[in-house]
Amino acid sequence: MPFYLPKSKNYLKKTKANQDGKRGEFLALFFLRLKGYRCLAQNYKTPVGEIDLVMRKGKTLVFVEVKTRPSLNEALEALRQAQQKRILKTALWFMKEFKAYTNYDMRFDFIGIAPSSWPKHIQNAWGAD
């Protein structure tokens, strides 16, 4: 075993929650594609934060946060104020990085994923006020 790897091998097998989350994000992407959104970025990472999905539909950019929980209610409650702010900052970063979208409208959506229920898509879930 190489010396530079940690002793525990947990990093290799992803946790169950992590796997569920990844699956949820994939589901959400699929769901939005069906609704006619185009994907611009997945897990867009910046020094100020991360956005699960950046989508485009017409002249609107949609920044999507996906939460996966055992029940839909838990999923809907999972988005905290601090994270909303972080996503706002990240969205602005995105706008700076890709100047082509300067004149696009911005929207912040939320998708809640839970087993055996249809994904819950909340449009314009929060804003900058």
Closest by CA position to 53, among listed 96, 81, 44, 33: 44
| HEC readout, 35-66 | CCCEEEEEEEEECCEEEEEEEEECCEEEEEEE
Size of the site for other proteins (CB under 8 A): 16
| Interface of this chain with other proteins, residues 92 to 121, rule: CB under 8 A | 92, 103-108
Is residue 124 close enough to count as binding other proteins by CB under 8 A?
A: yes
The distance of closest approach from Cβ of residue 83 to other proteins in the complex, given in angstroms and rounded to an integer, is 16
d(C-alpha 5, C-alpha 27), whole Å: 32
Is residue 10 close enough to count as binding other proteins by CB under 8 A?
A: no
Residue span binding other proteins (CB under 8 A) among the ranges 3-11, 31-39, 76-84, 86-94: 86-94
**CB nearer other proteins, residue 27 or residue 92:** 92
The distance of closest approach from Cβ of residue 107 to other proteins in the complex, given in angstroms and rounded to an integer, is 4
Closest by CA position to 110, among listed 38, 31, 36, 19: 31
Answer for the pair 77, 68: CB distance below 8 angstroms, yes or no.
no
Footprint of other proteins on this chain (CB under 8 A)? 60, 88, 91-92, 103-108, 123-124, 126-129
